[in-house]
Amino acid sequence: MTDIATALTDLLLTPGLPLDEALDRHFAPDYRQRTDGSWADRAEFAAHIAHLREIVVGGEVQVFEELAQGDLYADRHVVDVRKTDGSSVRMEVYVFAELAADGRFRRIEETTLMLEGSDADRDLGSAR
């Protein structure tokens, strides 16, 4: 079974890991995500991560609470990222998810709260 910290580390914080490989490790083919009310399918999510890979140069994921039961998963985590322009963003994220039979994420619904960063970074959780 995957988890948010491992998935985000592979997606954003592991230079050299191809995006398709990271996606296949953690997200089912029929994956979809709702962030702050906006839905994205797997292709749109991949475009979002590709965009973030262009502007994020490092960071960390800190999980504060995490629950899994059967095919359901929930957590509360904070993502700190350093961007190519030298600025930093800190977001708190609340996640409710459904896992596929193989343990990868099938659906994530999340709400984000920006703790630090500029107004321009408020949509970083869904920017493409």
Residue 125's pLDDT is: 63
Mean pLDDT of all residues in 29-40: 97
Average pLDDT of the chain is 95
Contact 33, 46 (CB under 8 A): no
Distance, CA of 5 to CA of 26 (rounded, Å): 11
pLDDT digits (tens, 9 = 90+) for 84-103: 999 999 999 999 999 999 99
pLDDT band (50, 70, 90) for residue 122 = confident
- % of residues, the chain, pLDDT over 90: 91
pLDDT digits (tens, 9 = 90+) for 99-117: 999 999 999 999 999 999 9
Mean pLDDT of all residues in 76-90: 96
Dihedral sign of CA atoms 65, 114, 122, 79 in order: negative
